[in-house]
Amino acid sequence: GQQLNQSPQSMFIQEGEDVSMNCTSSSIFNTWLWYKQDPGEGPVLLIALYKAGELTSNGRLTAQFGITRKDSFLNISASIPSDVGIYFCAGQRLTIQGAQKLVFGQGTRLTINP
């Protein structure tokens, strides 16, 4: 099936550091989404990107929809303890059958040392 390559798989950083993670694919997507999952909870949408080249911010979070439509990145600036969790990228594309399909990356687990 369709794969999204999300990296890194895990990150161990100091509080206050900036974080960068990305997703790449061999296929084109028409929407990119970034979700965060706290321990014991369901994923929560952070940022949605709908246009190639789009750069969107949400507080300390910034995400971009790659110009080739095959990749996206998420940056977190000045990390704080509550940023701990698993971050998932998701790409949406139209299938041959005409249905919208959402594919998730494997996640980036972020750990912050105070």
Binding site for another protein (CB under 8 A): 1, 6, 31, 33, 35, 40-45, 48, 88, 92, 99-107, 109
Q: Which is nearer to another protein, 44 or 67 (CB)?
A: 44
Question: DSSP secondary structure string, 65-111?
Answer: E-TTSSEEEEEE-S--GGG-EEEEEEEEEE-TTS-EEEEE---EEEE
Q: Which is nearer to another protein, 1 or 114 (CB)?
A: 1
91 neighbors 31 (Cβ within 8 angstroms)? yes
User: Least separation, in Å, of the C-beta of 28 and another protein?
Assistant: 16
User: Least separation, in Å, of the C-beta of 100 and another protein?
Assistant: 4
